[in-house]
Amino acid sequence: MQQAVLVDSHAKFEQHLREAGKANATVIAYSKDIEQLIEFVGEKGKTLVAEVTADDIDEFKSILKQRRYTSKSISRKINSIKAFFRYLIDEEILTDNPAEAISHPKIEQSPPRMLSKLEYRALRDAASGDERLFAIVELLLQTGMRISELAALQMDDMDVDRGVVTIQAQNSRDERKVPLNKPAKKALMDYLKVRPRAREKTVFLTKTSRPFLVRNIRTAIDRYFRLAGIKDAKVNDLRHTFIVEQLKAGTPLVYVSQLVGHKRITTTEKYLNLIDSPDMNPNVQIEEL
């Protein structure tokens, strides 16, 4: 049991993640984090799983801090390491878990950023000449879906007549349906009129009829943020804006949580801190074009 080689166990762990249906980006991130730990202990002459100690992992954490990794990055690597050693315990490759007592660095959580009315109006104006990007911005802003969910949308997921979009299950997230309001529906219909005709069933395509990838969507929206003069904004801020505007409009917390696919309602509750409660008005409507 205690002669397992780190490199071999790492390969088995990576295979385990893939078989568990983890996203490719998650598998790659976890794998690289474990590779980094293996390289670190390897410099100390350790190649076996059982040779890694809690002191080694704590020292590795300190080295990361010295190399100016952010607390968030270090915390993610600790998560990867903890998952790796839990897997080794479950597989009975190890009996003692050296990562169990390892603590995460403290992370200063800044509140989610939301766009002001002036900002999201400016973003819409900047993207108004591009039917595809305008539809993407409007869907993100009016439905609160994640950018990965938008990129994965298929034509069969869109019921424009009924004004409903089906967001398919992804990784550990369940399938859900979200309504399309008038602005989102109009923007989508305008885009579909100019969408390339192709066998590809993905909704958002490039000019060469290939799926519009997440990284390229993000780059395109970042460009329109700059054109609109919006500073320090990210694509996820459109989702944050949707959540806050829904809560300000008096939409029930549980329903908002379901709309955006939060696993825990406590995640949605955090957005209540962005709302000035005394000024909440349940009759306020989210601005539509």
- Report the CATH number that the domain containing residue 255 is assigned in CATH: 1.10.443.10
Same domain, residue pair 57 and 179: no
Same domain, residue pair 22 and 125: no
In the chain (289 residues long), the average pLDDT of successive 10-residue segments reads 80 92 87 94 92 94 91 91 94 91 80 90 95 96 95 93 90 88 94 89 92 94 96 94 92 93 91 62 39
Output the domain CATH number for residue 62. 1.10.150.130
User: How confident is the model at residue 285, as a pLDDT?
Assistant: 36
Do the beta carbons of residue 52 and residue 41 sit within 8 Å? yes
Do the beta carbons of residue 135 and residue 188 sit within 8 Å? yes
User: How confident is the model at residue 130, as a pLDDT?
Assistant: 96
Do the beta carbons of residue 54 and residue 101 sit within 8 Å? yes
User: How confident is the model at residue 200, as a pLDDT?
Assistant: 86
Per-residue HEC secondary structure of the chain comes to: CCCCEHHHHHHHHHHHHHHCCCCHHHHHHHHHHHHHHHHHHHCCCCCEHHHCCHHHHHHHHHHHHHCCCCHHHHHHHHHHHHHHHHHHHHCCCCCCCCCCCCCCCCCCCCCCCCCCHHHHHHHHHHHCCCHHHHHHHHHHHHHCCCHHHHHCCEHHHEECCCCEEEECCECCECCEEEECCHHHHHHHHHHHHHCCCCCCCECCECCCCCECCHHHHHHHHHHHHHHCCCCCCCCHHHHHHHHHHHHHCCCCHHHHHHHHCCCCHHHHHHHHHHCCHHHCCCCCCCCCC
What's the token pair of residue 135?
Answer: 């539809």
The Cα–Cα gap between 65 and 105 comes to 10
In a domain, 100, yes or no: no
Count of Cβ atoms closer than 10 Å to residue 185 Cβ: 19
In a domain, 288, yes or no: no
Same domain, residue pair 127 and 21: no
The Cα–Cα gap between 134 and 127 comes to 5
Q: What is the pTM of this model?
A: 0.65
Identify the domain containing residue 264 by its residue range.
117-279
Residue ending a domain, choose from 28, 55, 90: 90
In a domain, 111, yes or no: no
Same domain, residue pair 270 and 134: yes
The Cα–Cα gap between 197 and 185 comes to 20
User: How confident is the model at residue 276, as a pLDDT?
Assistant: 57
Same domain, residue pair 18 and 81: yes
In a domain, 128, yes or no: yes
In a domain, 109, yes or no: no
In a domain, 222, yes or no: yes
How many domains is the chain partitioned into structurally?
Answer: 2
Same domain, residue pair 224 and 267: yes
User: How confident is the model at residue 36, as a pLDDT?
Assistant: 94
In a domain, 1, yes or no: no
Do the beta carbons of residue 181 and residue 142 sit within 8 Å? yes
Same domain, residue pair 170 and 65: no
Same domain, residue pair 80 and 221: no
In a domain, 74, yes or no: yes
Same domain, residue pair 141 and 203: yes
Same domain, residue pair 78 and 162: no
Same domain, residue pair 30 and 148: no
Same domain, residue pair 136 and 240: yes
